[in-house]
Amino acid sequence: MRELIGIVLQKKRIRDRLILVKIFSESQGLKTYWWSAGSKSMQTFDLFDTIRFQSKEEQKDNAQWLKTPQTTKVLLSARIHPVKSATLLFFQEILLHLLTDGYQNPPLFYLVQQIIQDIDETQHEQPLHYVFLVGLMKALGCCPIVPKEHADWFNINDGQFGQNHFPPGKNILPENNQLFLFQQLIQGNWESLYQPNVSAHQRREILKQMVDYLFIKSDKVSPIKSLEIFYELFHL
């Protein structure tokens, strides 16, 4: 058995003390483990906690079993703060729907690790959901570069900026500040979200467009259900 460190992305009871756990680690990527939890260890870790553990492969069916999990970093305020909890739910949905079992991406692991810490430690509401989506684009290799020349549109299907007549498919256009916000956000200019001419509806729409872009580039359909909860809590 080898010792690993990972972030818990899912913890699901199957029956009695048999738990299915999805863990994202630097060296192994996303993996599913079975955990036979004793009564005293049921609360040893929770979602987005960082744990040190060992894994053992069952030779009969190649199933991976989680052994001796120990929490190394526990979330505190993020567990009880409604907005922070909703943010974690949003992150969980995105990651579990985008990543497949066995997927490895060390830069993404460090992004998730850092942003979870930021959520837990920050005292004020920050646009970490946008920070997370842009970081995810970069880690997945699909973050576009803002052109030096003027752009009239960004085509979500092709991942390209362009001028004049926009191509078929889904496009981010200048209307409602969408193209402006997208260009600003992928450059890390988070303050653009709070300019006087940017409305809550526009922030909501660009968030959805960024999620759609990530899923289209990953050849997947976005089934994210936590956005509505997110909108209510952030008053987007």
Q: pTM of this prediction?
A: 0.88
pLDDT digit string (tens) for 39-78? 554 457 899 999 999 988 886 777 899 998 999 998 888 8
Between 38 and 177, the higher pLDDT residue: 177
pLDDT above 90: residue 226: no
Q: Which tokens in the block code for residue 216?
A: 């289209």
pLDDT at 234 over 60: no
b/e per residue, 186-225, with b = 16+ CB within 10 A?
beeeeebbeeeebeeebbbbbbebbbbbbbbbbeeebebe
Q: Decide if 170 contacts 208 (C-beta within 8 A).
A: no
Strands 160-162 and 29-36: unpaired
Joined tokens for residue 30:
């996303």
Q: Quote the CA–CA distance of 203 and 107 in Å, as a whole number.
A: 27
Q: Which domains does the chain have, with CATH numbers?
A: 2-73 (2.40.50.140), 77-234 (1.20.1440)
